[in-house]
Structure 1
């Protein structure tokens, strides 16, 4: 009984272990203790069946033998227990083996699952590489980073000193390797580009980072980059016309130098040094703007001189020309001229020009006494430049109402002087905005004020000349009709009275009374003396009487007409015996002389003014004369003649010949013809010609003059000439610029078009011809709508019409026709062109960029991204699936989504059959049907392990048409599903003729590659589960048998004990009876 119990405990303990060797060792040890055999050993190899050899065997496996030897033999009960224990031990060992195999299968399943996920991850990586580009770039970048790290680890102390030097320089410096990747950069480089750490740049493609776009925002291909050429072609480059881009996506103009780096005659990279030249560019732009303004000033001044007849002409017209051109010069809204009254208490606007309205007006009066401080500044000769009329001390006195009514914010006023007196001011007023007046604008205002002064001086001179001409006419009339004087004798009596003793007959013509009347009453003559000259007359007579000196006086007397004339009265006194004094004298009419003297004085003043004008005017004044025989001369030239022509103005006899000698040989005939034409027709002379200045070289001269024909047949021209060399240069530059711009537009790589306000095409360059397939001559003058496809014409034309209302295109997509094929999608940018008044749009210029291919690529990329998402989702669903049905449904679902097909199937290779296990279709096909591998196209795919694309099933002999006759299928695409061998296929079908793209092929094949392993895994898992269940059932049955055997053994032992007890009881009873 004890052996049975010990053996049960031993076997129970062994059943809890999982190590076979440990189980056998403990079993042998336990059996030795329980049965104490003579010998006990475990034999791995099978021994001859004999007494004491017990095999450890199950239905499927042999584990070895237990060999037991007893010297005195073995009881039957022990032998049975040993046999049962061996049987139980074999079962336990089989369980351990099965459990180990199950664990190994699980480990294998886990390993294969990991391999499957690794493959899925690889597949996703490969698919992402389609989106992101080639893995070579990643490898290159990784390799470059590794190289950079090695280089950084090997930097020596000397290299660190070099870096310190580089970081201390003001110039930005960075290095490139042969792939254009940054290898180092100094602090200035980081500062200019807006980065904080070198790691932000090192290892990155510098062209793509800072040099990717031109200043006009067009892409900058790396092949055109001079920096690129340095390390690709070994060329040094120096460029200052391009921009670089900062981290914040703003750009700055840069000047850079790129040097190739050679090692053993091989280019390994380049070093780039650059500077931010923003301030220099601003200075250059400012200089160009200043030159442009100066050229504009010169042009408009020339226009002012051309329009203004300052030697003659109407004052109002001259003033209008001045205000109009001056406002254009300064680009200011209001230009005006104001006159002071005699006492300076008021200013009167004689002309106001408003630029935006192109309107002249006058008449406004301001009380100048209220802003005396303003007037004092002008009297000092100061120009008043007020950027804020409300804050400036000099203009705050002016009534605010005047500024507010006219919206005036800034003011620039220059005093106008006439004969040394302030008599007017030239005013410029900016409306609606503040304006800081430039020094050159102040100087220009002063210059223009001199033109105002010149206009008034010209008017006064003309009036004086007119009066002089009138006086001369009057004098001639007197000379023709009157004698030259009066002879008289007068006696001054002692009582102070006067008595004429003789008067010539000419007195009647002088005074209108007869000589007799005059001798009767001398007072009628004295009464004719001008009241202002009467006292002077008496004083002169008294002095002559006192001193008996010659009486000589010039006085004004009233003539017969009632007008006063000048007379020179001269007489010699002689004392008569009676004490009276007799004067014999003569009176001359000196009116003409007096007028001549006044004219001479006026002429002297005029000559002085002309001299000032000739000195300060921009050109040289002259008088050109043709005598009656046509012989030319230059009686007068101003001092600037020598500066302008290089000829000595003192050598008057040589001036004409010298002038024609210095005229360019090619222009001499032209100049002579223009002079002869003016002489014959009397038209104003105007010409532009070249001279060869002895020190300054070739110069362009422009001349203007008006001819006057004299009675003797001679002709005189009064005019001026001035230097127009700079203007001619500017015109040449403008012509070249215009030609350059026209060629730039015509031959620019970018399509450029211009349409006018009526939407007629006026420019159409070569690039646009290529873009549309239309010829320039066929579209010029046509409506721009000819460019648009019929279906897009209305919407496109609406956008074009909007440009006439101020719209400017900024990356607007408009489709245009292409006569050679597919319509083009164009990205438009435009700018509006205004008239001179900046009021009306007269044209629109637009640049187009063909983005058809880019748009198609973007659409394809978007489609690919969407399909990649579908693919990843499909692969994920396969990995997460727990049964075949779920996998099969997912495969057909995602296959159809990936290919946009009308149906998809999953076909298993089932022996020599094709088994259509699952499908997702617009209408059913062959689900759960089987076909021979040899007569099915999917069978061909699985046998050959090759994908097949059939655009037309009726043209491919591999397709069994008998199965397709009543289906919707016209095109198909089938790919194999493989693990270690081909196990299935995925098919996609279309009801129209269709050929899938290469991307579709790769996507579906990737899905197929991701399908095989889940299918195999699920199959293997199911098989393992089946085996485990079978083994478990077998173990359970064995355990039941052991339990029954144990129960039987225990019952038998108990029964034997009872029998022994009964025998012992019988023995005792027998003994007692005995």
Structure 2
């Protein structure tokens, strides 16, 4: 019966005779030591069984006489739970076990048998080592981080440690009431739900929620924890960090209140509506906000416009709608203000004039958003039409007296056309610089522009800078360094030829990148614009003289027109025209 018990016990058991030879071993012993047959161990002296290396708890190799079994054989005294690690050289893995050896003595005091037990605690040692490393990582995280850090049990039932950094109260002793201690009751269900989801999916836990601060008040944190898995993929612990976002939340609340005030202001602006729209990556336009003024101005519902922007665009006549889209494209391209007046036909058939003014800005994701205002300018447009009728009659009177000016203007236009043709004849050379090798390439036109011998190699970058005017070198060098960051640049600068002559050139450059986004080449063009610069200066002088002459002639004509208007003023019967005419009297308007 005793042998049956020995054969079925989970721990390894061996009986050693008085000479130190293995007499009996059970199946668990065979499994622990990886033996296939009892013949591999029976009748073999434990001292001679040398293929297993035995190490002490300190990791040092034990002398054979210090092995637990040999110690009991040698001293005749029991050895209790000696911790050792054994390695089978064929597998090169350590097996940790507690070995006990109990001598059974004869009547004469000599050893009869030694009962040895072997308890495999390898998994426990691995768990202890994993816990030790976990604690080391946690201590390192605490040391390196300025945030709140914490450790939680696999099922989040216990907060093992939490360093609150003075923001939250510390947890130094494992606590199972952490949820009640840190999280307000209103937020506990949401925290629990996100925790359960993270546990079930073994994924990262992250959540923004309120917490009870160290001083007892309420604040906000952004908490994020990652599961630590063992070799079997089971969660053994969670490591987490939390950031104080109280100020950010307060700022968001202040922003919400500010936006509410802005909404109230926009809804109550007379004859106006405030709006915000965005250009999506697919090219579509979407309104993000419209004040209720749109309902008074355009007779359409705010929600309809937010849902379908064409609800508003359909009110614009096709010929104006095309201009609107062109102006929007220009505003998006240059990030410039959009400012336009367009007619709109309302659902009730009424036509109104609206001024649309908005300013674009670029979001962090590259999209562009416009903040704008729509103003009803119908009355102003009607007044302008009445005034335009008066201006039309005035223009008729002026036409006869401005023919000479028109001829002069046509002559100037012809001169400008000739100048444009001369500019198109300017020479343009192309170049390329290999950033990796430092070698450069010039086209034939480049050599002609710089008055260099085309039989010679193109100068490298440092030599090229010698051609640049000393006052422009730093500027050019700075632009090319920015170009290496991926920008296309177009600049003008001066060069100095070998004979000392200064010339003006225009350069445009572009950077070429390899598959890893590293700059490898810069290529570009250079155009000699010296004659253009000189021509532009000459035109500037001509234009100044022309403006002076035109101003002189029109001023004389306007004096004649003013006299004619004085003679016909009593014939005006439109009050608005009379009012505008009266306001205009005595004013001198700039002609150009």
The TM-score range, normalised by the shorter chain, is: 0.3 to 0.5
TM-score scaled by length of structure 1: 0.28
TM-score scaled by length of structure 2: 0.45
Q: Greater Rg, structure 1 or structure 2?
A: 1
Q: Which structure would you say has the larger RCO, counting Cα contacts within 8 Å and 6 or more residues apart?
A: 2
